[in-house]
Amino acid sequence: MGEQRTDHVNADQVFGALADQRCRHVLRCLDEHETPIELAELADAVASRTYDDPVAEIPDRAVEQTYIALYHNHVPKLADSGLITYDRGRELVDTSVPFEPVAESVLEETASELE
């Protein structure tokens, strides 16, 4: 499976993704690191944020569980929402668009649903 990306941002998917703390950690890590980033490196950074410790001080099993959660759940969820791109074959994660246009699109979609 190649790179996943959506051209349209779905408000429900974005809000669903942002409701999860680990997804927010992913976005913060992508913002702080040069992208694209390998999934394993991203897992280290997210585990470090989750446990509030340097990755060297986190048990290997906890880092492995973070990687598995990112691989199977969080990264695909963020890719489906349009917030990131994910090349599963190469295990590369990247930001898809600057967050401001995404936020604007979500707010516009939400406003139109209220009318």
pTM: 0.77
- Return d(Cα 53, Cα 71) in angstroms, integer: 22
User: What is the radius of gyration, based on Cα positions, of the chain?
Assistant: 14
| Distance from chain centroid for Cα 38 | 12
Return the domain boundaries, the chain.
3-109
The CATH T-level fold of domain 3-109 is Arc Repressor Mutant, subunit A (1.10.10)
| Distance from chain centroid for Cα 113 | 25
Express each pLDDT in 37-89 by its tens digit: 999 999 999 999 999 999 999 999 999 999 999 999 999 999 988 889 999 99
Least confident range of 15-19, 57-61, 76-80, 104-108? 104-108
Provide the 10 A C-beta neighbour count for residue 59. 10
